[in-house]
Amino acid sequence: MKCPFCAFSESKVIDSRSIEDNSAIRRRRECLSCGKRYTTYEKVEDIPILVVKRDNSRENFDKNKIIVGLIRACQKRPVSRFQIEEIAADIERNISNSMISEISSTEIGEMVMDRLKEVDEVAYVRFASVYRQFKDISTFLTEINNLMGKDQKR
């Protein structure tokens, strides 16, 4: 680690603390040449996850896209912003923990729908209607009947 003041390459660590839910370490260092102090951060490098879209194009995974979709589906529903962010974070965590480098947008959509079904059924149907591209009212009714059939089994 080079000193940002004199570019000397040796320093001593004065203090270390974990930050961001133990995902990074903040270190206070002192240059052994000029004596000035500075801060460095150590963080595990995330492996980027690529999302394979329906047209086979690829883009980087973006949790914010899930949040935006959830906000639209949950508009005027009793679902808090905290719940929405929790769902998105949980999906991101599941994808990261699976140790895969690519995932299809279809799989992500199914994960979102599974979680939405538990939280709010109206939001689930809204999301499913856009995600599954319901073409007519019969497709919509089929999904609602499937949902109602599962409720009766509970």
Tens of pLDDT, residue by residue over 37-82, are 999 998 877 778 999 998 999 999 999 999 999 999 999 999 999 9
Point out the residues of the chain with pLDDT beneath 50: 154
What is the C-alpha separation between 60 and 103, in angstroms, rounded? 10
pLDDT for the residue numbered 150 = 62
pLDDT for the residue numbered 126 = 86
What is the C-alpha separation between 130 and 18, in angstroms, rounded? 42
Contacts of 21 (CB under 8 A, 6+ apart): none
pLDDT for the residue numbered 152 = 52
